[in-house]
Amino acid sequence: MAIEVYVFDLDGTIVNSGEDIAFAVNAALKEFSYWPVPEKEIISLIQDDSEKMLLNVLNRSTKNHFSLETDYNQKQFKKICEFYIDFYQNHPVIKTNLYAGIKNLLKVLKEKKKTIVLFTSKEEAATLKILENLDIADYFDFIFSKDSFNLGLDSLLDCINKKKSSNYESKNCIIFGDTALDIKRGRAFGATTVACRGGLGNSAELLAENPDFSFSVASEIEKFIDALSMEENSSKIIEFAMKNEVPIIQDEGSNFILDYIKSHNVKSVLEIGTAIGYSAIRFAQVSPEMRVTSIEIDEERYKTAQANVQEKGLESRVKIIFADALEYELNDFFDLIFIDAAKAQYQKFFEKYKHNLNEGGVIICDNLSFHGMVEDLSLTHNYSTKKLVKKIRKFIDFLKTNSEFITDFYSKGDGISVSKRKK
């Protein structure tokens, strides 16, 4: 695939801008003495072409009595459109915020030297105001707003290639969007397409377009950036994880653990959270003496993991257990315990399985940064995500103040801790 160019739609993909758009639309309706339309309904009518959106909203407001056939209405409509654009440009970031993990995703893409592109039908002034207010403008190598957007993706790529002296083709691009039209446009161009279901677009229509990948938020692509950078996708397991939204450890995180295993002569690993066996297989492949036990609560994933382990011929050394790790009783001992399951339960996993640690062994935990949100809670506005972030912070405090274990923290992958029993 060798994806090098990451193209993002703005509204509903990077920013949750529905409320501010609806607010501006209702301000325009009020100014011209039309009934307001409920926020939710306006959000469902948002589309690339703001005039079409306003016409649909006016039809809702007037119960289909607004027609552009009269001269008066045509003039009135023009004024409403102008008022809306002007109002929105002056108030584009009152409630608008970034979707969870976006800032970190942009940071990681920048570090990995990917070309980051914004491709939006929004007017330039509002676009720039939003990017600057949310402090993400500098991450974008190219910002294509309304006028350039209308020229299309082919001319966008020409422009990128000219400015960067590169030879990217459409197959090197990945397009993120939250509407069926975004996916259609991306596919017609020949790019890989990612549907963001948690955006403003209609989810069913979006998925009906058969995007290559579908995530609730664009930031979930973060784990797969390295896999997408390869010329040919090297691993069927990664491909499956991407297609089925199975969370797997990031390469940087797993490489860190693999290095630890090699340099500390680790011979046995217990993993809490197998998913489909990606990390368990990687650990087992370090050496023929390595034994891995891994616990997975989800039956489908457990079965897929079993199949993957068998396909690699590792069933004699990788034991997958289908169970809730919080309830399972395990009497074996391990050199390394890797906790990579439900983040809210990390402390419980830690306290339960510390008894299964060999002398000199370590407990390693992943996802302690949670897309940068643990360090900066303002990166999410979602109530349940905030709650989870607070639990991770509590777990970090638990590690820092633990009288039995000493913990080192590493900013590798999504944030890793290594805890060793005090002597």
- Show the tokens assigned to 94: 């009152």
Contact stretch for ligand SAM (CB under 6 A) within 154-162, 226-234, 283-291, 338-346: 338-346
Nearer to ligand SAM, 299 or 404 (CB): 299
Q: Is 258 in the site for ligand SAM (CB under 6 A)?
A: no
The answer to the question of residue 249 lying near ligand SAM (CB under 6 A) is: yes
By CB under 6 A, which span of 69-77, 89-97, 274-282, 384-392 interacts with ligand SAM? 274-282
Closest to ligand SAM by CB, 82 vs 245, is 245
The whole-angstrom separation of Cα 227 and Cα 384 is 29
Token pair for 302: 């457990």
Helix (H) or strand (E) holding 397: helix 383-400
Q: Which is nearer to ligand SAM, 193 or 274 (CB)?
A: 274
Q: What is the dihedral of CA 306, 310, 314, 320, to 10 degrees?
A: 10
User: What is the Cα–Cα distance from 40 to 163, expressed in whole angstroms?
Assistant: 41
Question: DSSP labels for 281-322?
Answer: HHHHTT-TT-EEEEEES-HHHHHHHHHHHHHTT-TTTEEEEE
Contacts (CB under 6 A) with ligand SAM, residues 22-81:
none
Among 101, 177, 186, 273, binds ligand SAM (CB under 6 A): 273
Going edge to edge, which strands form the sheet with 192-196? 142-144, 115-119, 5-8, 173-177, 192-196, 213-215
- Which residues within the stretch 398-417 sit at the binding site for ligand SAM (CB under 6 A)? none
Using CB under 6 A, which of 298, 358, 381, 393 touches ligand SAM? 298
State which residue, 279 or 417, has the beta carbon closest to ligand SAM. 279
Task: Please give the Cα distance from 6 to 243 (Å, whole number).
Answer: 18
Contact status: 261 vs ligand SAM (CB under 6 A)? no
Q: Is the dihedral of CA 363, 286, 228, 205 positive or negative?
A: negative
Residue nearest to ligand SAM (CB): 273
Contact segment (CB under 6 A) with ligand SAM among 31-39, 164-172, 321-329, 397-405 equals 321-329
Q: Which is nearer to ligand SAM, 200 or 228 (CB)?
A: 228
Binding-site member from 60, 301, 371, 412 for ligand SAM (CB under 6 A): 301
Q: Is residue 342 a contact point for ligand SAM (CB under 6 A)?
A: yes
Q: How many residues bind ligand SAM (CB under 6 A)?
A: 21
| Residue 191 or 295 having the CB closest to ligand SAM | 295
Residue 7: closest CA among 203, 208, 172: 172
Report helix, strand or coil for 194: strand
Sheet strands (E) in 74-223: 97-98, 115-119, 142-144, 173-177, 192-196, 213-215
Q: Does 341 bind ligand SAM (CB under 6 A)?
A: yes
286 binds ligand SAM (CB under 6 A): no
Conformation bin of residue 101: beta by default, left when phi > 0, alpha when psi is -120 to 50: left
Q: In the complex with ligand SAM, which residue's Cβ is closer, 22 or 221? A: 221
Instruction: Report the alpha-carbon distance of residue 369 to residue 387 in Å, rounded.
Output: 14
- Out of 36, 152, 190, 247, the only residue in the binding site for ligand SAM (CB under 6 A) is 247
What end-to-end distance do the CA atoms of the chain give, in Å?
A: 49
Closest separation between CB of residue 13 and ligand SAM, Å?
A: 24
Cβ-contact 190, 183 below 8 angstroms: no
**Candidate ranges 43-51, 162-170, 207-215, 336-344; the one touching ligand SAM (CB under 6 A):** 336-344
Find the binder of ligand SAM among 207, 286, 326, 344 (CB under 6 A): 326
Burial class (CB in 10 A: 0-12, 13-18, 19+), 225: buried
- Is position 269 an interface residue for ligand SAM (rule: CB under 6 A)? no
* Of residues 122 and 412, the one with the C-beta less far from ligand SAM: 412
Measure the CA–CA gap between 316 and 376, rounded to whole angstroms. 44
Amino acid at 340: D
Told to check if 275 binds ligand SAM by CB under 6 A, we report yes
Of the residues 296, 308, 339, 418, which one makes contact with ligand SAM according to CB under 6 A = 296
Whole-angstrom Cα distance, residue 21 to residue 410?
41
User: Which residue from 295, 336, 365, 373 is in contact with ligand SAM, where contact means CB under 6 A?
Assistant: 295
Binding site for ligand SAM (CB under 6 A): 247-249, 271-275, 278-279, 295-298, 301, 324-326, 340-342
